[in-house]
Structure 1
Amino acid sequence: MTAGRIISQSISRADLTAMAEAQFGDWIKGVVDVSRGIMAVGGDLHADDEALLLEHGSRQQDLWGINLYLDEEGPGWIEFDSLINIRPGLGNRSRGVDDERTRERIRALVESLVIAE
């Protein structure tokens, strides 16, 4: 099992790429806390990153699973697909993120944390 890492300050794409190469190749799983402005990356499962954030004070309803395709450019490099996103009680019935405003918050947060160098 690979332990995830909490990202609360900038991380380079190169660092994420190195982490990804050790796991899945050209992509990495992550979980974003839209309330606290942090994310966890590098767990074998989204649930691993989710558990790490919960252990460090995040609230379940603020957490969303994503995949980052580090060789991609533009909006396609962030994929909204995770089992942890299925939350019928909160109105999210798919593995994606159904609410466009939430997707935009996630995009903005990821873009603020992941830098080119």
Structure 2
Amino acid sequence: MKEFKNPLTQKEITELKDKFGNYLKLTIDLEKEIVVAGCLLHADGETRLLREGSKQSDIWGGGIDLANKVIDTTAVLNLRPNQDNNSLEIIDADKRKKFINIVKDFFQKLWP
């Protein structure tokens, strides 16, 4: 598991792929724009972000398939009835769009 506050270099992406394979679980603080990649469970990334002062309401999970450049916004930690998110998917369109945009920004080297 590794934390990023800036877009990844090609070397960092390659290192993550070598260590974790083509699919990376991502946990992201949407407000602080901090990405934790390579978690065994999204909750591991959530715990790390909470320890660093993130608010749980700002933390969402998903992943990226590095080989196919496909981003998903599905994670068990997204189940949040208290935030009207009764699904594994990020239901709120604005939050989902922000999650996807952060992933595209941090992994921009995949889309030269």
> TM-score, structure 2 length as denominator?
0.88
* Residue 49 of structure 1: aligned partner: 45
Query: How many correspondences in the alignment?
Result: 110
List structure 1 runs of 4+ shifted beyond 4 angstroms: none
Task: Measure the CA separation in 2 of the matches of 1:45 and 1:65.
Answer: 10
2:100 aligned partner, one-letter code: R
RMSD over aligned Cα, in angstroms? Answer: 1.6
Q: Structure 2 vs 1, CA of residues 17 and 29 (structure 1 numbering), >3 Å: closer, same or farther?
A: farther
Does structure 2 retain, via aligned residues, the 8 Å contact 1:5–1:40?
Answer: yes
Q: Deviations over 1:10-49 (max 9, x none)?
A: 10355234323323x2111111111111111112111111
* Residue pair 2:23, 2:65 contacting (<8 A) in 1 also: yes
Give the unaligned 5+ runs of structure 1.
none
The equivalent residue for 1:9 is 6
1:58 aligns with 2:54: yes
Deviations 1:51-87 (A, max 9, x none): 11111111000000011100113xxx11111110000
CA distance in 1, matches of 2:56, 2:67: 30
Which of 53, 63, 67 is residue 67 of structure 1 equivalent to? 63
TM-score, length-scaled by structure 1? 0.85
